[in-house]
Copies of this chain bind each other. A is one copy, B any other.
Amino acid sequence: MPNPTAAMLVIGDEILSGRTRDANMHHLAGELTKHGITLREVRIVSDDHDAIVAALNALRASHDHVFTSGGIGPTHDDITADSIAAAFGVPIDLRADAAALLAAHYEQQGSEFNTARQRMARIPDGATLIENPVSIAPGFTLGNVHVMAGVPSVFQAMVASVLPTLTGGAPLLSQTLRIDRGEGDIAGPLGDLAAAFPDLSIGSYPFQRNGAFGSNIVIRGHDGALLSAAMTQLRALFPEPATE
């Protein structure tokens, strides 16, 4: 059985303007790979209701899971929860258990549980809450969509809450060989090797270091023995010792 597939939807003007460098995608990609869920696509859209709805509906129809980050805080530009509700065509309102969690948290802090903070307890009908041990305000899962915060520490905590509840597949294994030759020198034999192992994915990633080009060859697959066999052949093709 093939592994479950996933897409990620990053919501945030600040990424698209170049102000902020997204960190959540890289974290999620690594966690999904370990959990045996294949991340096939990522989209980044701005804090725009229609853009969020359109992207979400496209992604949830074509992948087993969709993970979103961003836009679930208390300010006017946090429109993700309402957009998700609209995408699913379900009502959204203040939810008692989420509000109770937040009320207790802010009481303990000596802060007011004001109208803005109550916004974070607006949860679409039918959703399950995702625990947030960092700052309490929960994420939620609705259908196959997992809605999480944009602040990296909170996002990571939510990923840790939700991933164990999802059925994974075989973890994607990988081995890397660094070859200190440009891609053009190795592409022929490498292509033949890739053709000989159709169940593996063999990627070539060029790099430049001290003015010289080299290639990292990454072999990925779910069958460890097959992967090692391909790596043995790869080393035989390019036997030069790696130098640091």
Binding site for B on A (CB under 8 A): 13-22, 25-33, 39-47, 51, 55, 73-78, 106, 111, 114-117, 119-120, 134-135, 151, 153, 172, 174, 182-188, 190-191, 194-195, 201-208, 213, 215, 218, 220
Contact = CB atoms under 8 A, between A and B. Distances in A.
A116 B187 CA distance: 6
30 contacts: A13-B201, A14-B205, A16-B29, A17-B29, A17-B220, A18-B26, A18-B28, A18-B32, A19-B174, A20-B205, A22-B25, A40-B46, A41-B45, A41-B46, A42-B43, A43-B44, A73-B183, A74-B187, A75-B187, A75-B190, A75-B191, A76-B190, A76-B191, A77-B204, A111-B182, A111-B185, A117-B184, A117-B187, A151-B208, A153-B208
A45 B62 CA distance: 13
Contacts of A74: 183-184, 187
Given A19-B218, A40-B51, A42-B44, A14 B203 contact: yes
Nearest to A149: B206
Given A18-B33, A116-B183, 13 more contacts: A16-B41, A17-B172, A17-B220, A18-B27, A18-B29, A18-B32, A19-B174, A76-B204, A77-B202, A114-B188, A135-B208, A151-B206, A151-B208
Contacts of A191: 75-76, 116
A15 to B, nearest CB: 7
Contact of A41 (B40, B41, B43, B73): B43
- What number of copies of this chain does the assembly contain? 2
Contacts of A218: 14, 19
Nearest to A58: B58
A27 B16 CA distance: 10
A102 to B, nearest CB: 9
Contacts of A47: 203
B204 A73 contact: yes
Which 9 residue pairs across A and B have the least CB separation, nearest first? Answer: A116-B187, A18-B30, A18-B29, A76-B191, A42-B44, A75-B204, A117-B184, A74-B187, A75-B187
A190 B47 CA distance: 16
Contact of A187 (B33, B41, B119): B119
A118 to B, nearest CB: 9
Nearest to A106: B184
